[in-house]
Amino acid sequence: MFKEFREFMKRGNVLDLAVAVIIAAAFGKIITTLVEGIIMPPIGLLLGKVDFASLFYVLDTSKGTPASLAEAKQKAIPVIAYGQIINDIINFLIVAFVVFLIIRYVNRAKGKQEKEVTTKECPRCLSKIPIKATRCAECCVDLG
């Protein structure tokens, strides 16, 4: 079983996946900071000085109505904190868009590499000849 695991770890795909996970974690932190620190403040300002991360709905008003999410948590008042989900959805959309752009770039790069085959080898002299040729220009063999 250890030998099988070692063979699994030797594959290049496992290492590539590990690197991708590490880079994705770091990239996620950058996107979170971008959304919370740069994108959401102007949007909140345009919508009337709203901080999305602190938006909430009070479920039980018997203990009073808290002025902030922090106060609700401190007083153990049940609330639905829907503002953070708005931030997380924007985070997800940005990450998904960036991943889309990366995959689009990679697919275009692959398309350029996989050019159409225009030549073949002569079976007799192994010289390169056009794919549609019926006779080799070097050794004059009929390709049929």
Per-residue pLDDT of the chain (144 residues; tens, 9 = 90+): 778 777 766 666 777 777 788 888 888 888 888 877 888 788 878 877 777 778 888 888 888 888 888 888 888 889 998 888 888 888 788 878 877 888 888 788 777 666 677 788 888 888 888 888 888 888 888 877
| 81 Cβ neighbours under 8 A, 6+ residues apart | 55, 56, 69
Tell me, yes or no, whether 137 lies in a domain: yes
Tell me, yes or no, whether 55 lies in a domain: no
Tell me, yes or no, whether 130 lies in a domain: yes
Which residue's entry shows tokens 């390709």?
A: 143
Q: How many domains does the chain have?
A: 1
Two structure tokens written together for 17: 């996946």
Tell me, yes or no, whether 128 lies in a domain: yes
Tell me, yes or no, whether 133 lies in a domain: yes
Tell me, yes or no, whether 125 lies in a domain: yes
3-state percent helix, strand, coil for the chain, nearest multiple of 5:
60, 10, 35
Tell me, yes or no, whether 98 lies in a domain: no
| Rounded distance between C-alpha atoms, residue 102 and residue 105, angstroms | 5
**Domain enclosing residue 131, as ranges:** 116-144
| Stated pTM of the model | 0.54
Q: Which residues of 105-127 are buried (b: 16+ CB within 10 A; e: fewer)?
A: eeeeeeeeeeeeeeeeebeeeee
User: What is the sign, positive or negative, of the torsion defined by CA atoms of 13, 14, 17, 18?
Assistant: negative
Tell me, yes or no, whether 135 lies in a domain: yes
